[in-house]
Structure 1
Amino acid sequence: MSEIKLYDTNGQVTELISSSVLLERELQTLIENNMSTFFGVRFLKSEYSITGGRMDSIGIDENNCPVIFEYKRNSNENVINQGLFYLDWLLDHKADFKLLVMSVLGKEAADLIDWSAPCVICVAHKFNKYDIHAVDRMQVNIKLVEYRKYNNGMLLFEHLNTPSTSSSRNNDTCHTEPVINKTQKHDTSFHIDKLESISPELKDLYENICNYIESLGDDVASNQLKQCLAYRKLRNFACIEIFSKQLKLFLTLDPSTVELTKDFTRDVSNVGHHGTGDVEVVIKNSEDFEKAKPLIERAYNEG
């Protein structure tokens, strides 16, 4: 794994050395109080008791998907298997999670829960190469995050992997052969069915958009949701929704900073839509896609 070097360039350049590891409860409290800022997740409950265990923290992300947080307490603890157990439990007890969301965020939020991409985020001072390899082999939505604390109050999170909940590519097609597992089964089929029903030309355009977004950086990951395909770094920066004669991109940009053009871009900050992002871009052909590229790149850089 790469070694991060952090320097203070105010005056004489000095390297910042990470200090003692945060106490487990201190780290958990800090993340729970700032979960939206750190991870784009709305906090629901701490120490969520279930049959056979207790989840450290639980929340719901901007795609309305459940998120479980587990904190690694020592080097010998197998927090990955523990997180996988909790994820399986949650998928078998969806009604319990809906009641939790309803009690904290209300009925409207509970009705929007999306089970297509639930996630486990494991946070630790250190993971080893075997942990990363194990998660990659599992092909489940488990994220490994290392943290470092510095004496000047700075806290660094390093995301070690970017799991994708979308399908793998086969014969250079883009997300047309979904990987079906317990997490995804029956939840992403609507988007996949729409992709299969559109014209070959629009399907090629969809593939080109996917290829372009994925080429923007190694930190890009995709979430295959029920209604759309979401691309994220830490948070979503672009979502693709399929219609019979066009594609719509929803970009995480401030609409006031975008020159809006009739029938191409519009402000949807107050308009209901499936994808996250306040700027809608309508793409019907390759010319529209070329015009959209600078906006996509902006959303990626600012995301």
Structure 2
Amino acid sequence: AVRRRRSTGSHGREAVSRQADLAGLDVGLVQSDGRVLGTDVAERVSEYSTGPVHGGRIDSLGLDENGSPVIVEYKRGTDAGVVAQGLFYLAWLMDHRAEVERLVRDRLGVTAASRVLWSGPRLICIAGDFTRYDVHAVREHRRSIDLVRYRLFGSDLFGLETVATASGGMQGFRRVRRSPAAQAADLQGAAMVKLAGAVDEVLLGLGEGVSRVERKQYRAYQRLRNFACLCRPQRSKLLVYLKVDPAEVDLVPGFTRDVTGLGHHGTGNLEVQLRTERDLERTQDLFRLSYAAA
């Protein structure tokens, strides 16, 4: 899906897509608004130096909503070396965990540093376009990589369109590690575990490029950013949090709830309570709405 964001006032004319020239102002626009990539401004640094040995400078280094370390690289036009450069920095990241955790600790505190999800590092490459070799390389790689095409619409809008996505290490992580639902099966009831499996199938089937990230208390489903978080099954219900504006939904007591400003596991301001397969059927439109917005 194409993402569009207004950078200046609208001039009331039809916007025509064109390949972006990633001038400093345009890169700064993406860097300054972490919501575009699912990262918070406080959790990201720009132009981070990798030191004299590596001699590089990472365009953006930060954490996503689930605590996974993320590297974002920006390129003008089509650059055949963007994926290779990003993987070079990703290798540096994994070899310098202590340095990254120290950076997180200094900016966000000890708790955030202890929760960095090293099993799911991510690379996001943003460019005017990519070659077919880039796309093929990403799909063959074991890391989590997103190729995102950057477009301008007139002079006051820009869009981000995902070209290719590979879940990489996240897929391996999911196969090896038992899910929270499976771990809780004995105590929390087979019915809710079965329902959690059905929810998982529906969310993964919403479209291409869906990644699943396991955390201790919830499972996140994301494209570039989270669109749904499934919490561990309770005895009689499942809680799913969606990136849907509660003000745009007819809230039903016992089924949907506005949790804006309330603490909960995962991300999203709309809480959905599922108890039966019928509840899951009722939630399909909300799932699709959240997926489309991610």
TM-score interval, normalised by the smaller of the two chains: 0.7 to 0.9
Report the alpha carbon displacement of residue 260 of structure 1 after superposing the two structures with TM. Answer: 4.0
Q: Does 1:123 align with 2:110?
A: no
Flag structure 1 segments of 5+ consecutive residues without an equivalent: 1-9, 169-176, 181-187
Which of residues 150, 154, 157 in structure 1 aligns to 2:157? 154
Map of 1:4 onto structure 2: none
User: By how many angstroms is 1:237 displaced?
Assistant: 1.9
How far, CA to CA, are the matches of 1:155 and 1:194 in structure 2?
Answer: 44
Q: Contact 2:19 / 2:128 at 8 angstroms: preserved in 1?
A: no
Check if 1:216 corresponds to 2:219: no
Deviates more, 1:123-132 or 1:239-248: 239-248
| Residue from 221, 239, 243 that aligns with 2:233 | 243
Whole-angstrom CA distance in 2 between matches of 1:283 and 1:289:
6
Kindly state the Cα deviation for residue 16 of structure 1 after the two structures are TM-superposed. Answer: 2.5
- For 1:178, the equivalent position in structure 2 comes to 174
Contact 2:19/2:152, CA 8 A, preserved across alignment: yes
Distance 1:40 1:148 in 2: 19
C-alpha distance in 1, partners of 2:282/2:153?
Answer: 43
Query: Could you say which residue in structure 1 is the equivalent of 2:214?
Result: 225
Q: Measured at CA, do residues 286 and 147 of structure 1 come closer, stay the same or move farther in structure 2, by a change above 3 Å?
A: same
1:164-204 Cα deviation digits (max 9, x unpaired): 36538xxxxxxxx8345xxxxxxx65637526656554443
* 2:30 equivalent in structure 1: 31
CA distance in 2, matches of 1:150, 1:269: 32
Distance verdict in 2 for CA 1:195–1:142, change over 3 Å: farther
**1:282 corresponds to 2:282:** no
Query: 8 Å contact 2:62–2:71 — kept in the other structure?
Result: yes
SS for the counterpart of 1:277 is coil
1:18 CA displacement: 2.4
Mapping 1:19-58, distance limit 5 Å: 21-23=21-23, 25-34=24-33, 36-43=34-41, 44-50=44-50, 51-52=53-54, 53-58=56-61
Which aligned segments of 4 or more residues in structure 1 are displaced greater than 6 angstroms? none
Partners of 1:104 and 1:190 in 2: CA distance: 31
Once the 2 structures are TM-superposed, how far is the Cα of residue 290 of structure 1 from its aligned partner?
Answer: 2.9
The answer (yes or no) to whether the contact 1:67–1:119 under 8 Å persists in 2 is yes
> In 1, are the aligned partners of 2:77 and 2:129 still within 8 Å (CA)?
no
Tell me by how many angstroms 1:87 deviates.
1.9
Residue 18 of structure 1 aligns to a residue in which SS?
strand
Quick check: 1:83 aligned with 2:86? yes
Distance 1:270 1:125 in 2: 37
Secondary structure in 1 matching 2:283: helix
Question: 2: distance between equivalents of 1:149 and 1:252?
Answer: 25
AA at the equivalent of 2:211: S
Task: From 241, 252, 259, give the equivalent of 2:251.
Answer: 259
Equivalent pair of 1:70/1:122 in contact (CA under 8 Å): yes
SS at match of 1:297: helix
Q: What code does the residue aligned with 1:129 have?
A: R
Specify which structure has the higher proportion of helix: 2
Unaligned runs of 5+ in 2: 1-11
Q: Go from structure 1 to structure 2 and tell me whether the alpha carbon gap of 1:55 and 1:19 turns closer, same or farther (over 3 Å shift).
A: closer
The aligned length equals 275
For 2:246 and 2:139, how far apart are their aligned partners in 1? Answer: 37
Aligned to 1:68, which of 68, 71, 77? 71
Q: Which residue of 1 aligns with 2:259?
A: 268
Higher relative CO (Cα under 8 Å, sequence separation at least 6) belongs to 2
> Aligned letter for 1:238?
A
* Identity across the alignment (%): 34
TM-score (norm 2): 0.77
Shift of 1:20: 6.5
With over 3 angstroms needed to count, the CA separation of the structure-2 counterparts of 1:277 and 1:289, relative to structure 1, is same
Aligned-pair RMSD on alpha carbons? 3.3
With normalisation by structure 1, the TM-score equals 0.75
Q: Letter of the aligned partner of 2:36 in structure 1?
A: F
